[in-house]
Amino acid sequence: MKMDVLLGLQWGDEGKGKVVDFLAPKYDVVARFQGGPNAGHTLEFDGIKHVLHQIPSGIFRENIKNIIGNGVVLDPVVLKKEIEELKKFNISYQENLFISKKATIILPTHKLLDAAYEKSKGEKKIGSTLKGIGPTYQDKIGRLALRVGDLLSPDFNERYEALVDKHSAILSFYGSDLKELPELEEDFFEAVEFFRTLNLIDSEYEINLSLQSGKKTLAEGAQGSLLDIDFGSYPFVTSSSTMTAGACTGLGVAPSKIGEVFGIFKAYGTRVGSGPFPTELFDEAGELMRKEGNEFGSTTGRPRRCGWIDLPALKYSIMINGVTQLFMMKADVLNLFEEIKICTHYQLKNGEILGRLPFEMVNENILPVFKTIKGWNCSLAEVTTYEQFPVELRDYVTFLEKELNTPIKMVSVGPDRKQTILK
């Protein structure tokens, strides 16, 4: 059996959580492979909205193993809070949630470092979620980090202190005070106690053995391809590999074991935080998208920047991920638009027209070249099948499929589990 991968093709918040929850009944295992509490994955069903940060989005379905893989950076305090939320809904995390011993732990000082680094960047700040992601991955790559399995080691506290000493030296260089630290540490150690009672496993064995025995696994990406550490709009990116290859290293699954790759994208574009966004709108159209799409961050509440769909960027994401099926989200957000714009190319300052992403996304003044199409300009509330879609929406889907050379197998028309139309 091969492992399917689901990931975001834009700058995150494409609706991955909704789709994982929708698809989960077809799977035995759902596994997160990178990122950490910077993610906010929203699920809506039975009139209730749930936001998950580190726990895989299969957790609300019965009989599914949800695994947090080795590639994830985990904040014990956030995890404890998330589990407390689940308990309110009688979700059996003892049976259904498993954590890799090789996942990396976010310490309180990682969060302080995140804030110090961002502050020092001034206007050039990344717009990080300040959850400690960058500094924790730095320590992982720097071979300093503490891992989940270390929680079980008798010298955990000494190793913690040694790392915090290093962090304190860096923090004092940045002029940060450590006033908050004792309070943060109190919460941290309380959460660590709880953490030790969870199912801590060798997830690479678990996943490979379950694939061998014919069980179906879905890898759930966080963030999006344009935030990828290698291929995103560097340095305005996150610190992990958000692409299909990241699912291999973040779970210990060989490339030859990858099956379908589901690419999730919005019918338009959004971005939170700083960095280039060629199709960004600064007018009423952007405002309307933000309002209709409720485009405010699930993790930080920040307003999301909004703009038209960007085909050069989507083609790039499809290429680097080997996407086999596309799912288009939030079509309903465009209901009020009489016209819809599609960015087909970029025009550079020197007049050059490009169909691909230039190396220099950050300082290059990229002008989007748009094709304008007629919008459907009506409600999709009553639509339950693809055939019932207004012809303009079907034309939009057909145009995108042709341009992107990949089938769009699902269109989402609302946040609820049920508002999902298969094609």
- Contact residues for ligand GDP, defined by CB under 6 A: 8, 12-18, 39-42, 44, 293-294, 298, 329-330, 332-333, 412-415
CA dihedral of 149, 152, 155, 159, whole degrees rounded to 10: 40
Contact partner, 15, from ligand IMO, Mg ion, ligand GDP, none, Cβ < 5-8 Å per class? ligand GDP
The yes or no reply on residue 13 touching Mg ion (CB under 5 A) is yes
The active-site residue, picked from 4, 13, 75, 139, is 13
Q: Among 37, 38, 43, which residue's Cα sits nearest to residue 22?
A: 43
**Would you give the end-to-end CA distance of the chain in angstroms?**
25
Question: Which residues contact residue 401 at a Cβ distance below 8 angstroms, ignoring those fewer than 6 apart?
Answer: 326, 407, 408
DSSP state of 285: H
The residues with which 147 forms a beta bridge, in sequence order, are 104
Instruction: Identify whether 182 is preceded by a cis peptide bond (ω within 30 of 0).
Output: no
Cβ at position 295, least distance to ligand GDP in Å: 8
- Quick one: 214 or 301, whose CB is closer to Mg ion? 301
Residues of this chain that interact with ligand IMO (CB under 6 A) are 8, 11-13, 35, 38-41, 126-129, 131, 133-134, 222-224, 227, 238, 272-273, 298
34 is an interface residue for Mg ion by CB under 5 A? no
With beta carbons less than 8 A apart as the criterion, state whether 300 and 361 touch.
no
Output the six-digit token pair for 320.
């680097």
Nearer to Mg ion, 33 or 337 (CB): 33
The answer to whether 139 is a known catalytic residue is no
For residue 274, state whether it binds Mg ion (rule: CB under 5 A).
no
Which of 66, 223, 298, 412 is close enough to bind Mg ion by CB under 5 A?
298
228 is catalytic: no
Residue number closest to ligand IMO, CB atom: 273
Q: How far is the CB of 380 from ligand GDP (least distance, A)?
A: 9
**Cβ-based nearer residue to ligand IMO, 13 or 332:** 13
Judge whether 353 and 369 are in contact, CB under 8 Å. yes
Provide the 8-state DSSP code for 239: S
> DSSP secondary structure string, 70-113?
TT-EE-HHHHHHHHHHHHHTT--HHHHEEEETTSEEPPHHHHHH
Q: Which does 332 bind (CB under 5 to 8 A by kind): Mg ion, ligand GDP, ligand IMO, none?
A: ligand GDP
Local structure of 339: helix, strand or coil: strand
43-49 own/partner pairs: CB under 8 Å, 24+ apart: 43/17, 43/18, 43/417, 44/18, 44/415, 44/416, 44/417, 45/21, 45/416, 45/417, 45/418, 49/415
Catalytic annotation, pick one of 4, 21, 28, 41: 41
Q: Which does 413 bind (CB under 5 to 8 A by kind): ligand GDP, ligand IMO, Mg ion, none?
A: ligand GDP
18, interface contact from ligand IMO, ligand GDP, Mg ion, none, CB < 5-8 Å by kind = ligand GDP
- Choose the one of Mg ion, ligand IMO, ligand GDP, none that binds residue 273, judging by a C-beta under 5 to 8 angstroms depending on kind: ligand IMO
Catalytic residue annotation: 13, 41
Interface residues toward Mg ion, by CB under 5 A: 13, 40, 298
